[in-house]
Amino acid sequence: MPRIGDTAPAFTAESTQGTVNFPADYVGSWVILFSHPADFTPVCTSEFMTFATMQEDFARYNTKLIGLSVDGLYSHIAWLRTIQEKMTYRDMKNVEVTFPLIDDVSMNVASKYGMIMPGEATTSAVRAVFVIDPAGLVRTILYYPLALGRNFDELLRIIKGLQTADEFDVALPADWRPGERAIVPPAGSCGVAKDRMSGEDTDVECVDWFFCTRDLPEETIEKALTER
């Protein structure tokens, strides 16, 4: 199983959108690679409808989606057609899934990414999420059990947060949302710490020398992340 900071394992696989060569097909993009337990299951159906509905939201931040389960290609196609033609969830209906859903009957990709957890299921992938940056590095890993659907607001917040941290050289506090204050790197010297605590650095507010924040308006973040 890859860890945060590792290079994401490469693979070639068939999908509902043709052959996927990862990461070669996704150079320069952020990627959310996620697994689901099985086609024609209710929690997975609600998740795929949500992913598809939010696809443009992720694309706004240069992020592409790749789904995976250990079902075959024909099962995937039939399930996605059923979603579009029959399924309604919340205010979503007639939802077309246009991102690739990988055929992984061999469990090759699932095994490379540690998506099979025998304590939960030996023949199904758990609800894993890997956020991979344009350099092909794993930046976030999430695992959900079979019975619990993912929090999609959090997935989008992760994308915005990682890109904000990279773009502005900041860290982000608990429950951060775009527009809230960001944490600046700790002072690297006594002199910098003194300047911060004395108020000489007017762009930074400090509670103590190690906990300092700066204003980072949402419009500044949006401009930086979406107009590149």
Active site residues: 44
Peptide bond into 186 cis (omega under 30): no
Q: How far apart are CA 103 and CA 52, in angstroms?
A: 18
Burial of residue 155, with CB atoms counted within 10 A of its CB: 0-12 exposed, 13-18 middle, 19 or more buried: buried
Q: Are 127 and 150 in contact (CB under 8 A)?
A: yes
Write 19-26 long-range contacts (CB < 8 A, 24+).
20/66, 20/100, 20/102, 22/66, 23/132, 23/136, 26/64, 26/132
Is residue 127 part of an annotated ligand binding site?
Answer: yes
Containing H/E element for 20? Answer: strand 18-22
Q: Are 34 and 127 in contact (CB under 8 A)?
A: yes
Q: Are 52 and 85 in contact (CB under 8 A)?
A: no
- Any bridge partners for residue 22, and if so which? 11
Burial of residue 177, with CB atoms counted within 10 A of its CB: 0-12 exposed, 13-18 middle, 19 or more buried: exposed
**Residue numbering of the annotated binding site:** 127
Q: Which residues are annotated as a binding site for substrate?
A: 127
